[in-house]
Chain A
Amino acid sequence: MKAVRPLGALLLLIAAGCVTGEWNRAGLGEPVPRERLEALHRGADTLGACLASLGAPERVFEHDVAPDGSSGVALLWYWRDEAGFGVDVSAGREEVPGSVSFDFVGVDLPGCVLWFDRDLVLQEWRSGLVGDLLPRRVRPAGLDGG
Chain B
Amino acid sequence: MFRTTLRTVVLSSLSLVAACAFARQDTNEPLDATTVAALQAGVTTARDVTERLGAPTEVVQLGRRTAYRYDATSAKSTVLFLLLVNFGNQDTRSDRLWVFFDEKDVLSHYGVSFGTHRTQYAMPWEDVHEASDNASRDADRPGVVR
Residues of chain A whose beta carbon lies under 8 Å from any beta carbon of chain B: 4, 7, 11, 14-15, 20-31, 47-48, 51-52, 54-58, 60-62, 65-66, 69-73, 81, 83, 118, 120, 140-141, 143
Contacts and interface: CB of A to CB of B under 8 A. Distances in A.
A69 B85 contact: no
Nearest to A55: B113
B90 A27 contact: yes
A48 B112 contact: no
Interface stretch (B21-29, B46-54, B61-69): B61-69
Given A21-B85, A29-B93, A83-B124, A62 B109 contact: no
Nearest to A61: B60
Given A24-B90, A29-B115, A56-B113, 16 more contacts: A11-B10, A14-B84, A21-B86, A22-B87, A25-B88, A26-B92, A28-B93, A30-B118, A47-B100, A56-B97, A56-B98, A62-B61, A66-B63, A71-B62, A73-B100, A140-B61
B92 A24 contact: no
Contacts of A118: 63
B109 A51 contact: yes
At the interface, is chain A mostly helix, strand, loop or mixed?
Answer: mixed
B39 interface: no
A69 B92 contact: no
A26 B89 CA distance: 6
A120 B63 CA distance: 12
B33 interface: no
Interface string B93-112: 11011101000000011111
Contacts of B124: 23-25, 83
Contacts of A141: 61, 63
B41 interface: yes
Interface string B59-80: 0111111010100000000000
Contact of A54 (B92, B108, B111): B111
Contact of B86 (A20, A26, A143): A20
8 contacts: A20-B86, A23-B85, A24-B124, A29-B93, A51-B110, A56-B98, A60-B69, A143-B64
B60 A70 contact: no
Nearest to B100: A47
Contacts of A140: 60-61
